[in-house]
Amino acid sequence: MEIYLDNSATTKPYPKVCESMVRAMEEDYYNPSSIYRDGVLVQKKIERYREYIANTLKCSSKEILFTSGGTESINTAIFSVKKSKKKHIITSMIEHPATLQAMKKMEELGFDVTYIKPLKNGCVTADEVLKFITENTCLVSLMAVNNELGSKTDVVKIATQVKKTNPNIIVHIDAVQAYLKLKLFVNENVIDFLSASGHKIHGPKGIGILYHRNGVKLSPHIVGGGQEMNFRSGTENVPGIFGLGTAVEEFYPHMDDKIKYIQTVKEYLKDNLVKKIPYIKILSPQDSVCHILNVSFLGVRGEVLLHSLESEGICVSTGSACSSKKAGSYVLGALEFTKQEKDGAIRFSLSEYNTIEEVDIVVKALEKNVNMIRTVMNFGKGRHV
């Protein structure tokens, strides 16, 4: 029996998602750009999914672009200011690698990038962002939810304050870990771009969303046949779009109940870890997003514990699946956790598929493996942590 607690890395697709993708390949395999009936019908289905996704963000369907995933969406938003005469960008030190690597490229192009150091809870404040805005600032790019700690930044408040300061500054929000995990709408017209990914919400890999506010300049970096309203050429990924759309249709109507359930399971996990395993520290803030819990098991190497759990069929992680496997967590490093806290960190990320019964099994396995590793490391004897 496998217990999967790495849902921030990817999620298991809903059965209906798989069914819709198979139908797309077996029955709706026509090119959406074709002008005969079957191609037109496929295009209409794509537009129906686009409309539904737009409704979840409270925007126009004309503002939703389909991409190959969160990374492309993030890159597209950031590179949209390449030709700006203003050359200053604001982001944070703990963004996803897709953002940080894109920022390096912008620096190579002559842009000056300010990397804000978040509070120790992983949040960025509006005051901190405003402090760094200059007359030369062209872009603010921040994540709504940190993928390692689950910290929630009030990005709507930040975007509102940024636009009050200078309405011409472009605001991009990385909502890959936030979309459908918290209520995030763009109808206040203070967010210019928002990125999301299919495989984080029980949809398929290889498909993403980019909200692009109407009127905001965007030069396509993939050119060709003019698909996606001429912003992103290439024959549409019909199975991916159908799978993504189906995942949103499955999740969104029950969003509040699903969030509440996942939060309940997470709190049960946290309470039992605190109760049953000594010398641990909860690294996630108290108000973290429903599905992410980062815990440090002091005196234990996170990677060693991960593989110990893996041998018992339990999947967890030590940080972002998209960052280097060799380097330690740059997120925890930026937030000044101690070396011991960073070394022992494990990220548990849950979904609606996880149960209280699974948590009981995981906690027992953790008790056993943490004690075993600490015994080998001679940890906890005669010391206070």
- Stated pTM of the model: 0.94
State the span(s) of the chain assigned CATH 3.90.1150.10.
3-10+255-377
Residue 223 has a pLDDT of: 86
Report the distance separating Cα 39 and Cα 96, nearest Å.
37
**pLDDT tens digit at each of 385 positions of the chain:** 799 999 999 999 999 999 999 999 999 999 999 999 999 999 999 999 999 999 999 999 999 999 999 999 999 999 999 999 999 999 999 999 999 999 999 999 999 999 999 999 999 999 999 999 999 999 999 999 999 999 999 999 999 999 999 999 999 999 999 999 999 999 999 999 999 999 999 999 999 999 999 999 998 888 888 898 878 889 899 999 999 999 999 999 999 999 999 999 999 999 999 999 999 999 999 999 999 999 999 999 999 999 999 999 999 999 755 554 555 789 999 998 999 999 999 999 999 999 999 999 999 999 999 999 999 988 865 443 4
Q: Which has the closest alpha carbon to 154: 180, 187, 118, 200?
A: 118
Active site includes 290? no
Fold classified for 15-252: Aspartate Aminotransferase; domain 2 (3.40.640)
Which two tokens mark 21?
């993708």
Q: Which of 18, 138, 315, 322 is catalytic?
A: 322
State the span(s) of the chain assigned CATH 3.40.640.10.
15-252
Q: How far is CA 211 from the centre of its chain?
A: 15
Query: CA separation (Å) from 265 to 254, 272, 355, 361, 365?
Result: 17, 11, 7, 13, 17
Alpha helix positions (H), 252-355: 255-276, 302-310, 330-334, 339-343
Residue 231 has a pLDDT of: 80
Residue 383 has a pLDDT of: 43
Report the distance separating Cα 306 and Cα 325, nearest Å.
13
Cα-based angle 247, 248, 251 (whole degrees, multiple of 5): 85
Residue 324 has a pLDDT of: 45
SS3 call for 21: helix
Cβ contacts of residue 69 below 8 Å, gap of 6+? Answer: 197, 198, 199, 205, 206, 207, 208
Class of domain 3-10+255-377: alpha beta
Report the distance separating Cα 128 and Cα 118, nearest Å.
9
